[in-house]
Amino acid sequence: MKAMISECMLGRACRYDGKSKPLPDEVINRLKEKYELIPFCPEAFSLPTPRPPARFIGDKIIDINGVDKTDAFFKGANEALRICKELNIKIFIGKEKSPSCGVKKTSAYVNGCECKCDAPGLTSRILKEEGIELISEWDLIS
């Protein structure tokens, strides 16, 4: 069975800070036994790396310089959905606290404070709306 996975968790340096956030080897090996992993980074698809961090402000995704990146985030999310449909992928394994890939938590700016709120990121939300099952990285390690 195929599963799309946040690419930074497999070691690609595609995060906003130009780094990766790889899962432990044993977790990756376990996933590979169960799934054919399809790595994808929705932000690196439509934005440069490194890039200023961004978060939700209401329905918009704004970077820390105040630039509205909502359209670019949608572009990456829609590409993730396109790939899932094309390859018949029904599972997405997401990196937490990302405004794109978060499953349980995403970055937001609320009442003057940076925080992680209980909501999915944009890519996760769009995939879920299309019936794709979301798996949090946190549920792989616990």
Which positions lie near ligand SF4, rule CB under 6 A? 6-8, 14-15, 41-44, 95, 98, 100-101
**Is the Cβ of residue 7 or residue 61 nearer to ligand SF4 in the bound state?**
7
| Adjacent-strand bridge partners of 39 | 5
**Is the Cβ of residue 11 or residue 109 nearer to ligand SF4 in the bound state?**
11
Q: Which of 85, 90, 4, 77 is nearest to 46 (CA)?
A: 77
Residue 116 Cβ vs ligand SF4, minimum distance, rounded to whole Å:
13
Q: Which helix (H) or strand (E) holds 63?
A: strand 60-63
Cβ neighbours of residue 76 under 8 Å, at least 6 residues apart? 41, 42, 43, 44, 45, 46, 47, 100, 123
Residue 75 Cβ vs ligand SF4, minimum distance, rounded to whole Å:
12
**Is the Cβ of residue 102 or residue 112 nearer to ligand SF4 in the bound state?**
102
Residue 96 Cβ vs ligand SF4, minimum distance, rounded to whole Å:
8
